[in-house]
Amino acid sequence: MAVEAETGGVAPTATAVSHGGGVATPQLSRWRLAAFAAPCIPVAAMMMPVTIYLPDYYTRDLGLSWLAIGFAFSAVRLFDLWLDPALGFMIDKTNTRFGRFRPWLVAGLPMAVLAIWMLFMAGPGITGLQILGWLILGFLGQSMASMAHVAWAARVAPDYKGRSRVFAWWQAFTVIGMLLALSMPILASRLFGLDHGAGVKAIGWFVVLTLPVSIAIAVLVMREPPSPPNHNPPHWRQYLPLLKRGSVVRLLLVDIAIGTGPVLAGTLFFTYFFAIRGYERSDAGALLLVYFFSALLAAPLWSWLANRMSKHRALMIACIAYAVAQGGVLFVPDGLGWGIAMMALAGVPFTAGSILLRAMMADIADQERLESGVDRSGLLFGLLSGTVKIGSATAVAGAGILLTTAGFDAKLGPQNDADALMVLQVTFALIPAAFGLLGAWIIAGHKLDAEAHADIRLRLAARDLEHEPQSPAQEATRL
C-alpha cells in the first residue's frame, strides 16, 4: 500500500521484483519508459549545441570575440547556479491537481522555445549582451522543465536498481538527441550543399518543433506518482543541513569535477580539431557522431555495472576511463581511422555520470526523507543541477581567458604561434583528464549501496503505512 503510493500505482508489466531485500516495486515497460524519456531528445539537441556549436559559430561565423563569448556563457551559468536550487525548493512545495512535476515541465516550454529560436537563428550584428539575455531565458525554461522531469523520474522508480534503469533510458534518449543535433550540420553540408550556419539553424528548427510534442507525450503517457507524505514542511533553512551532509557534498563535488572536463573539451572541440588536427567542421562533426554513438551503445553498460558492483564503483571506473581517453588524445597519430577509434573509446564513459549521479542522489533523497521526515528530492536535484553549472561557468570562462591570454585567434587556426597552440592542447586534453581523476578520487568514499538503501526503503514503507489515512472500518479493525 505504501509502495503503491510512491510508484503512483502504475500497473506492473512484469512481476513485481524485490531488489537487495527491499520493498518490491513494479517494473515499467520499455514503451512507457521511452515515452517518459522523450523530452530528453529535444532538450539534449538544445543544450549540447549551446556549448559545442554556438561558441564556435559565434566566433568564426559571426565575428564575436572569445572574450565576449566567455563572458556571456559564464555569466548565464552563474545566474543558473542559484536558479536550480530555488526551483527545486518551489517544486518541493508544489501541490496541484495537475500534479507536482507536470506544471513545471509544461511552464518551461514556451520560454525555452523562444530563446532557442533567437539563439540559433542569430545573424551578424548580435552582441554578447543579447546572447546573454537569450541564454538566461533559455536556461530558465530548460531548468524548469529538466528539474521537474528528473525529480519525477526519481519517483517513477523508487528502488535502488530500478533507478539505474530509468536513468539509463533517460541518458540514452539524451544521447540520441545529441546525435540528431550533431548530424544536422553534417547533412546540411554534405547532402544539400548548405553552409555551416544553415546546419546550426536546422538544429534550432528541430528543437522548436519537437520539444512541445515530446513533453505532451510524456505528460499524457506517464502517470505522476502521488508525492510521499512530508512529516515536516519544506523550508529554505533545510538547504543548510543538506550542505552539511557528507554524502550530498561528495556527490556535488564529483558533479563539479566530472562536469567541468567535458564542458571544457566540448567548448574547444571544433577549435582543437581545426587548429591542431586540420579538420574542417563537417569532418570534426562526423567524429562527434562517433563519440556520441559510442556513448549511446555504452549507456546500458553503466546501469548493468552499477547493479553488479554498486553505483559509486561503476562511476569510479568511468571517471578513470574518461581521464585516460581524454589525455590520450594528444598521443593518437593523425589519420581518420585513428580518429574514429579514439572517439569511439572516449565516448564509452560519457553517459556514466549523468546516469549514476542522478540515481545516487535519488537514493540519498530517500535517506534524507527517512531521517528528516521531509521529501527534499527537489532541493537535492536542484543542488545537483546547480553545481554542474559551476563547472560549466568555470570551463567556458577559463577557456576564453587562457586562449585570449595566449594570443590565440580562432580564425587563424593552425597559423597561431606554437605557444598558443600548446595552451589549446593542454586546455582541451590534460585539464579535463585531471578533473576526471579528481572525480574518481572523491567518489571512492561513497557509502550508500544497495543493501543500505533496501533497509531505508523498508523503513520508509513502514512509516508511510503508519501515517496513511485510515478508513473507519480499518480504524475499527486496528482498535
SS3 for 324-338 is HHHHHHHHCCCCHHH
437 pLDDT band, cuts 50/70/90, is very high
Say which residues have a Cβ less than 8 Å from residue 435's Cβ, sequence separation at least 6: 257, 258, 260, 261, 264, 323, 391
pLDDT at 26: 54
pLDDT band at 389 (very low <50, low <70, confident <90, very high): low
Grid coordinates representing 154 are 526519481
Owner of C-alpha cell 520499455 = 30
Q: Residue 351 domain-assigned?
A: yes
Q: Residue 92's pLDDT band (boundaries 50, 70, 90)?
A: confident
| Mean pLDDT lowest among 182-186, 189-193, 466-470 | 466-470
> Is 60 exceeded by the pLDDT of residue 279?
yes
Judge whether 368 lies within some domain.
yes
- Please tell me the total number of residues recorded for the chain in this structure: 479
* Higher-confidence position of 83 and 240: 83
Looking at residue 468, the DSSP 8-state letter turns out to be S
Rg (CA), the chain: 23
Domain CATH code at residue 224? 1.20.1250.20
Q: What 3-state class would DSSP assign to 477?
A: helix
Residue 23 in any domain: the answer is no
* pLDDT tens digits along 145-175: 888 887 788 777 767 677 777 877 877 888 7
What pLDDT sits at residue 298?
87
- Please answer whether residues 186 and 203 qualify as being in contact, where contact means their C-beta atoms are separated by less than 8 angstroms: no
Note whether residue 392 is domain-resident.
Answer: yes
Predicted local distance difference test score (pLDDT) of residue 338: 85
User: Whole-model pTM above 0.75?
Assistant: no
Does the pLDDT at position 15 exceed 50? no
Percent of the chain with pLDDT over 90: 13
3-state secondary structure 253-269: HHHHHHHHHHHHHHHCH
Residue 2 Cα distances to 25, 368, 376, 378, 432, angstroms: 11, 18, 18, 21, 44
pLDDT single digits (tens) 292-310: 888 878 888 888 898 888 8
- Domains in the chain, number: 1
| 322: confidence class by pLDDT, cuts 50, 70, 90 | very high
Q: Is the dihedral of CA 258, 263, 268, 272 positive or negative?
A: positive
- Residue 439: the pLDDT is 94
Segment among 82-86, 183-187, 389-393 with least mean pLDDT: 389-393
Is 11 part of a structural domain of the chain? no
Residue 370 contacts residue 460 (beta carbons within 8 Å): yes
Instruction: Give me the helix-helix angle, 377-405 and 128-156, nearest 10°.
Output: 150
Please check whether residue 21 lies inside any domain of the structure.
Answer: no
Asked, for residue 478, whether it belongs to a domain, the answer is: no
Per-residue model confidence (pLDDT) at position 158 = 67
pLDDT above 60 (res 229): no
Of the candidates 330, 375, 326, 369, the one whose C-alpha atom is nearest the C-alpha of residue 348 is: 326
Among the ranges given (120-134, 238-252, 407-421), the one the predictor scored with the smallest mean pLDDT: 238-252
Taking alpha carbons only, the member of 49, 398, 420, 444 closest to residue 253 is 444
Check: CB of residue 302 under 8 Å from CB of residue 352.
Answer: yes
Residue 475 has pLDDT above 60, yes or no: no
Q: List the domain range (segments joined by +) for residue 435.
A: 28-457
Confidence of residue 11 (pLDDT cuts 50, 70, 90): very low
Could you tell me which of 174, 397, 426 has the C-alpha nearest to residue 302?
Answer: 174
Could you tell me if residue 260 is inside a domain? yes
**CA 255 vs CA 47, 294, 358: distances in Å:** 17, 22, 10
Sequential DSSP letters for 82-132: HHHHHHHHHHHH--BTTBSSHHHHHHHHHHHHHHHHHHHT--TT--HHHHH
Per-residue model confidence (pLDDT) at position 375: 75
Say which residue, 356 or 14, is predicted with more confidence.
Answer: 356
In this prediction, what percent of the chain has a pLDDT beyond 70? 84
Query: HEC profile for 126-177?
Result: CCHHHHHHHHHHHHHHHHHHHHHHHHHHHHHCCCHHHHHHHHHHHHHHHHHH
Residue with cell 520493498: 23
